[in-house]
Amino acid sequence: MKATLLQRNVLWASPQENARLNREIMEKERGTDLFLLPEMFSTGFATSPDGIAEELDEEGECFTLRWMRQTALEMDCAVCGSVAVKEKDGRFFNRLYFVTPDNCFSYDKHHLFTYGGENLRYSAGQERVVVFWRGVKILLQVCYDVRFPVFVRNTLQEDGAPEYDAIIYVASWPAKRVPAWKRLLPARAIENQCYVLAVNRVGNDPVCEYIGGTMVIDAMGNIVDSCPDAEETSISVDLDMEALKRFRSKFPVLEDGDGFCLF
């Protein structure tokens, strides 16, 4: 499976313009199986979501979700990124959508960023979500989730296979904490014997500066490819599932795990 990660600036509270700019970049990468976009890629990371979060209609749709569906269908790919949404009952969620030509999966961010006040306005999700796309089982995660290894623990299923093969992290991770980001991601890959695909934005919002740190890491903790810091750019990586299977077979770490998961 070929994945393309877009490290780009996010225009503040501008879903239509962000969609247009993203599509221009994606058109240059036709043939990709999966496009990854940053956290709250349609608006920027808004801890005060009133007037910024996209309101869901009676069918549970918003502008950006409809754009993701159309793009996935027209480009025969999956599109993944998180969106600030407002439910009909007034609750806000930082919702990660994984949209394919035929389906839409969603994961609501579980670990809300208390330090930045995200927990004051958003509701936390309670369920882990794993999707299967073109031969790869993928766990969906958002930004701050990367600091909590128990939540993502990979376990063997009844058939003896690991629960997932890759973790996606989409983020709006501030520049001053990027050294921690770059250390945490390889740890999640190593301990779970999986690929990690992590995309972070660049640019500025009303509160923070962002310099990226977008990368793909293999199950041994090696950086397969990465974006230069502070540049609007993208990377494309082919996930080698046969190599991952060989490594897991040769070095069966997951078989020696604790055999349980809290989620």
- Identify the pLDDT of residue 258: 84
Amino acid identity at 220: M
Q: Which of 68, 112, 83 is nearest to 10 (CA)?
A: 83
- Identify the pLDDT of residue 259: 65
Q: Whole-angstrom Cα distance, residue 44 to residue 23?
A: 17
Which residue is catalytic, options 77, 143, 194, 227? 143
Q: Please report whether residue 263 resides in a domain.
A: no
Which residue is catalytic, options 77, 80, 109, 118? 109
pTM value is 0.97
What is the residue range of 149's domain? 2-256
Q: Please report whether residue 261 resides in a domain.
A: no
Q: Which residues contact 242 (CB under 8 A, 6 or more apart)?
A: none
- The total domain count for the chain is 1
Helix (H, G, I), strand (E, B) or coil at 80: strand
Q: Please report whether residue 41 resides in a domain.
A: yes
- Identify the pLDDT of residue 260: 60
Q: Whole-angstrom Cα distance, residue 196 to residue 169?
A: 8
Sequential pLDDT tens for the chain (263 residues): 999 999 999 999 999 999 999 999 999 999 999 999 999 999 999 999 999 999 999 999 999 999 999 999 999 999 999 999 999 999 999 999 999 999 999 999 999 999 999 999 999 999 999 999 999 999 999 999 999 999 999 999 999 999 999 999 999 999 999 999 999 999 999 999 999 999 999 999 999 999 999 999 999 999 999 999 999 999 999 999 999 999 999 999 999 988 666 66
Q: Which residue has the tokens 């990854």?
A: 36
Give catalytic status of residue 109 as yes or no: yes
Q: Which of 198, 155, 145 is nearest to 36 (CA)?
A: 198
Q: Please report whether residue 58 resides in a domain.
A: yes
Amino acid identity at 244: L
- Identify the pLDDT of residue 176: 97
Give catalytic status of residue 118 as yes or no: no
Alpha carbon 127 to its chain centroid, in Å, reads 15
CATH of the domain at 14: 3.60.110.10
Q: Which of 36, 112, 45 is nearest to 83 (CA)?
A: 45
Q: Please report whether residue 86 resides in a domain.
A: yes
Q: Please report whether residue 32 resides in a domain.
A: yes
Q: Please report whether residue 151 resides in a domain.
A: yes
Q: Please report whether residue 262 resides in a domain.
A: no
Which residue is catalytic, options 39, 54, 118, 163? 39
Q: Whole-angstrom Cα distance, residue 40 to residue 170?
A: 9
